[in-house]
Structure 1
Amino acid sequence: MNKADFTENTGEGDRSIAMTGSLSLSCLGDLPDRLDLLEGDFARIDLSGIDHIDTVGAWIVLRTADRLKAEVVGADGDAGRLLDVVSRVDEPAEAPHKAEAPIIRILLQIGDAVIATAHTMVGLIGFLGAVLISAWQLIRNPGRFRVNAVVQRFEVVGVAALGIIGLMSFLIGIVIAQQGSVQLEQFGMEVLTINLVGRLTFRELGVLMTAIMVAGRSGSAFAAQLGTMKLNEEVDAMQTIGVSPMEALVMPRIIATVIMMPLLGFYASIMSIIGGGFLCALALDIPPVTFVQRLREVVPLTDIWIGLIKAPVFGLIIGMAGCFQGMQVRDNAEEVGLRTTAAVVQAIFLVIVIDSVFAVFFTWIGWK
């Protein structure tokens, strides 16, 4: 290939440069240095006489044309396309931002988290409004209520969870009785272990641990199912044919969770009582008859009512959190996993917050 070169032409009042040879990296030689020595303004850089041009040559031509305020002319089809591509990607790179101080970065992350939490809470409140509207529509039009869908969710939320919730509650009852008896033994009051197991189970732990378990099982399932349907555009298809996703997908899941939570909570309390009684019989030599008789004396009916009152509210929170996060899925499958995790975390957090509110409220009204 011919070595790259150029000639400077001075015409009638304008100056131009005519390139010759091969404008490729192996043939450039000292051409860039000689072009850098040119000064003033030029009208044109003519490429009609070149044999070949590569990316480096195109960049040198464009850089020289920009510096000398010259117009590049005479490029054939391939050379013209190469010059166009190089000109579009030859943009100045932004200098990296100076690293922020750790305390500033932490504060910014906290601020982002607070804003995201606020947006989520506003969205959840709006979703609650949509649920209430859908519930009112179902009350006004009972024929639109999907009984089969609700019954199917009964099995998923309730029947399928009996095994794991029962085992978990039984073991929790054993742990409460064992740890309580160890502490009460120091005062010779091991019999009060029955009080501890009975009141703590019916009032708090039975329904609370059930809510956490249901949030992990059913809340995550709701988010994953609805999120997958969103990705597959099944929800959009339902809206297109005139079927309300809130009535067809969301309400059956929420209704099933609200109805099943009191039953599961009471079942979990009974299993926990059985676990506590089992430990008392083995470790404390308290007969089952004595355990049950003492339980009836020390556990007021209000403790049972407290658990049954809190359970439907927890079920509403779990169902709403799972369905809300599932309906927020966008774009890709990764979003399904993120929303499923968010549904579980959100449900458990809200359940614990509401439980603390209930604890203060029931104490305030005298249900101690």
Structure 2
Amino acid sequence: MTNSPYIATSSADAAALKVGGDWTLAHYGALLPQVAEARPALDENSRADFSELNALDTAGASLLVELLGAQRLIALLSDDSLSDERRALLHTVATAMQQQQLVSEPPSRSTYREFFGHIGEVVEGIWHKVVGLLGFVGLTLGTLLLILLNPRRWRLTSLASHLEQIGLNAVPIIALLTFLVGAVVAFLGATILSDFGATIYTVDLVAFSFLREFGVLLTAILMAGRTASAFTAQIGSMKANEEIDAIRTLGLNPMELLVLPRVFAMLIALPLLTFVAMLCGMLGGAVVCVLTLDISPSMFLYLLQENIPLNHFLVGMGKAPIFAFLIAVIGCLEGFKVTGSAQSVGERTTSAVVQSIFVVIVVDAVAALFLMEMGW
């Protein structure tokens, strides 16, 4: 039968506090009010008598620390009535609670400091991403030069497979989307130009916009969402399953085996899809012109040939390989950043899509400003 714990004043000395009974977790609730009642009556010179203390565990030791204070309890551990085990237990608990009390509350951070600190973290993160992307671009170009000098190492089977997935399977969605956008651009242009009696220039509007901007931009954005995400998911799954480590163990180069076939396939497929997008966009504009503006197909082709120079087509096609390379590299890089969980695969796939679309739009805007200033 356990002894009930108690706190009492020693009959021989009013300044001495007698602690007895079982100070264990089972009696924690009963001891709390006694500790709260006895603590205000103690002073710095109060002593403690542990001779009648029976059982003791960490819960009881923590109550003794609250009753006497950590420093005073450590000073009282020289009591001969305490065994070595209890001295060690009380010293450990008192030291831990004293260190916890010494930990100061973290200073309150101002809203402005948190705001500008967050901006700094975002800018630093963007800088690290840019540096990482440039490094991966350099690594890809270096491996590309090695492969070009040794045609026997070209992986034509993998290239053909990726060409089918990237290019051939994407033709229907590219054609349908650009056809509809071309029809919308022609309809809006005709609506505005009809107020000036210049609906005939709808042909120039559709052709100019799709040859220079819309054809390649819409194709690149679709490929960023469709293909960059696929590259990241495929390589990321291999990284999570440690297949890339196995490739390195076999003495193979993951850049040569996984990245270059995808980059080559994208460099081939995106310009071809851009050409399809240009044709379908102008076809959608031609349908609107024929149905609503009474412009015959032969008249549409004549105006297209007379008013639209070849350089607009070359500008649009010239952007396609640049966009293709950036999209493929970003998709593969994010795949290699996967850490090993399904959540990481999803996060990196989303990041690849966002980064690809962002980079494509930024590069297109810079190219448009440069070409406009050059008069091209």
What TM-score range do you get, normalising by the shorter chain?
A: 0.7 to 0.9
**What does residue 278 of structure 2 align with?**
269
Which of 340, 349, 352 matches 1:343? 352
Matches within 5 A, 1:69-148: 69-70=74-75, 71=77, 73-74=82-83, 91-92=100-101, 94-101=104-111, 103-148=112-157
Matches within 5 A, 1:1-368: 1-5=2-6, 19-23=19-23, 24-28=27-31, 30-31=34-35, 33-34=37-38, 37=42, 39-40=44-45, 49-51=53-55, 53=57, 55=59, 57-63=60-66, 64=68, 66-68=70-72, 69-70=74-75, 71=77, 73-74=82-83, 91-92=100-101, 94-101=104-111, 103-367=112-376
Identity %: 36
Q: 1:140 to 1:19 in 2, by over 3 A?
A: farther
Q: 1:45 to 1:238 in 2, by over 3 A?
A: farther
Q: 1:31 to 1:107 in 2, by over 3 A?
A: closer
Structure 1 portions without partners, runs of 5+: 10-14
In structure 2, what residue type is equivalent to 1:348?
A: I
**Cα pair 2:70 2:95 within 8 Å, conserved:** no
Q: 1:229 to 1:85 in 2, by over 3 A?
A: farther
Q: 1:41 to 1:21 in 2, by over 3 A?
A: closer
**3-state DSSP class of the match of 2:20?**
strand
Q: TM-score, normalised by structure 1?
A: 0.87
**Cα pair 2:162 2:261 within 8 Å, conserved:** yes
**3-state DSSP class of the match of 1:21?**
strand
CA positional deviation for 1:142: 2.0
CA positional deviation for 1:191: 0.8
Aligned CA RMSD, in angstroms, stands at: 3.0
**Cα pair 1:199 1:303 within 8 Å, conserved:** yes
**Cα pair 2:18 2:49 within 8 Å, conserved:** yes
Superposed CA offset, 1:138-174 (max 9, x none): 1232222211111111111111111111111000100
Structure 2 portions without partners, runs of 5+: none
Q: 1:94 to 1:155 in 2, by over 3 A?
A: farther
Q: How many residues align?
A: 358
Q: TM-score, normalised by structure 2?
A: 0.85
Structure 1 outlier segments of 4+, above 4 Å? 6-9, 15-19, 44-48, 79-90
In structure 2, what residue type is equivalent to 1:67?
A: Q
In structure 2, what residue type is equivalent to 1:61?
A: L
